[in-house]
Amino acid sequence: MRSVTCNLCGGDDWFVRYAATDQTDRRPEVSAFRCTHAGYGSHAQIVQCHICGHVYANPRWEEGELLDAYSSVEDDRYVLERAGRERTFAKHLKKLEKYTGAGKGRHLLDVGAYIGVFVEVAQSFGWKAIGVEPSHWAVEIAKSRQIPVIEGTLSARELEGEYFEVITLWDVIEHLDNPSAELGKIYTMLKPGGILAVHTMDINSLTAKVMGSRWPWLMDMHIHYFGRRTLVKMLEKNGFEVVWIGAQSRYLSLGYIASRIAGISQPVGRFLTWLIGKLGAAEATIPLNFGDLMTAFARRSS
């Protein structure tokens, strides 16, 4: 474990917002880094910067350890949730195109593409879309569907000299060791006037405030917790102008929702899983919006 300074303002003046629930300094199991992991309530110490208000895990694991975990992770449950994710991404892309215009063969990069669901959706909308993803397992799943996803990070050799009209970070920025540096890279990869989409949790949402330490997004794999104000500041710091920010719903299957509830209360989760199975409704998807997931669209300023 290592102590870090605030990634937004560089300060080292913080207070503990949520004490660590695991008092050891061991890195969690690789399974804790799955997108569908239900390890709610297990997390390192989470602090808030006195200077700028940014919330982050501190101390935390080395950047190399985090990258190793994401490179090794496998997540079969994510594959089963493809239908809901396709509907979610289609809805998000329609909103995004109000600011970017239609794809029409223009270039889009999805960072942290996982198995390539958003890349495939964007292609169906006419974008010349590709993804980049550290998980070897996820990239192989994408390749099996002929979805162009590069294995690696923004530093991948295949991305050198490439420029894009749109770059997206769906549920990614909260996992990055140094989001400011990654946003700086993205700025150089966007064409002037290009748009960046960032989707993440909102720790200052009403839901997060009401639930406090029981807020389910407090997890080992999340190391940065933005509110709307701090996300805007982080984007502006790296040369972006935010053109829209707001909460967005997503589609989840009833079976998946039951499994998430089980991460909070096993008895309730087991009952709902049984009931939904009895009704044959496990694959049915519904839109959910608790106001604690936000999206920002930001334009490269020059």
Instruction: Divide the 302 residues of the chain into consecutive groups of 10 and give the mean pLDDT of each group.
Output: 96 97 75 84 95 97 91 89 92 97 96 98 98 97 98 97 97 97 98 97 97 94 97 98 95 78 78 82 84 97 80
The pTM for the full model equals: 0.93
Amino acid identity, position 61:
W
Domains of the chain: 74-300 (3.40.50.150)
Position 275 scores a pLDDT of 83
How many CA atoms lie less than 13 Å away from 66 in the CB half-sphere?
A: 18
Position 73 scores a pLDDT of 92
Position 219 scores a pLDDT of 93
Position 296 scores a pLDDT of 98
Strand partners, 197: 168, 297
Position 24 scores a pLDDT of 65
Position 265 scores a pLDDT of 79
Position 104 scores a pLDDT of 94
